[in-house]
């Protein structure tokens, strides 16, 4: 079992967001995004990478948050530098693939929980999303500033 702290995410919100897969409406690929919140939306991209998203809005409104990077805490292969510092690397390291598409994050196979106890104030920063051709004006990428597992540094 892998355990990690989410350190970077991106939001994709609705049919009006040109970078969201739902921009072209409901399709077999995007059906999960239109479903209940708290489920995994996993897709394959560039012919080689799976991407893990969490459906976030009420049923019928397509929105999801892409998990871009995780700080490994346990279960990751020893000696691998930054094994989950990008959405494709994260899925490869955690063996996440299309077989988990649509699964609830309350299941025994996949989960997100809040860390116990109150941590120090986190320095969360916002920036444009990465790797998209449209919708770059949205500051919908959030990342933990200074964390070495974030996928890409942003000039400050």
Instruction: Specify which residues 4 forms β-bridges with.
Output: 72
Residue 150: inside a domain, yes or no? no
Residue 115: inside a domain, yes or no? yes
Residue 149: inside a domain, yes or no? no
Residue 156: inside a domain, yes or no? no
**What distance in Å separates the CA atoms of residue 65 and residue 75, rounded to the nearest whole number?**
24
CATH code of the domain in which 19 resides = 3.10.300.10
Its domain, for residue 66, covers: 3-144
pLDDT, one tens digit for every residue, the chain (156 residues): 899 999 999 999 999 999 999 999 999 999 999 999 999 999 999 899 999 999 999 999 999 999 999 999 999 998 888 999 999 999 999 999 999 999 999 999 999 988 776 667 889 999 999 999 999 999 999 999 999 999 987 655
């Amino acid at each position: 079992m892998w355990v990690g702290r989410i350190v970077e995410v991106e939001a994709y919100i609705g049919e009006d967001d040109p970078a969201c897969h739902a921009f072209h409406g409901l399709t077999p690929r995007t059906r999960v995004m239109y479903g209940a919140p708290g489920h995994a939306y996993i897709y394959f991209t560039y012919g080689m990478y799976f991407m893990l998203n969490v459906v976030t809005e009420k049923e019928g409104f397509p929105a999801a948050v892409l998990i871009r990077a995780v700080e490994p805490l346990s279960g990751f292969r020893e000696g691998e530098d930054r094994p989950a510092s990008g959405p494709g690397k994260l899925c490869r390291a955690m063996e996440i693939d299309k077989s988990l598409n649509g699964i609830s994050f309350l299941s025994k196979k996949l989960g997100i929980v809040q860390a116990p106890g109150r941590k120090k104030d986190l320095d969360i920063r916002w920036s444009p999303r990465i790797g998209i051709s449209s919708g770059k004006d949205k500051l919908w990428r959030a990342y933990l500033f200074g964390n070495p597992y974030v996928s890409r540094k942003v000039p400050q």
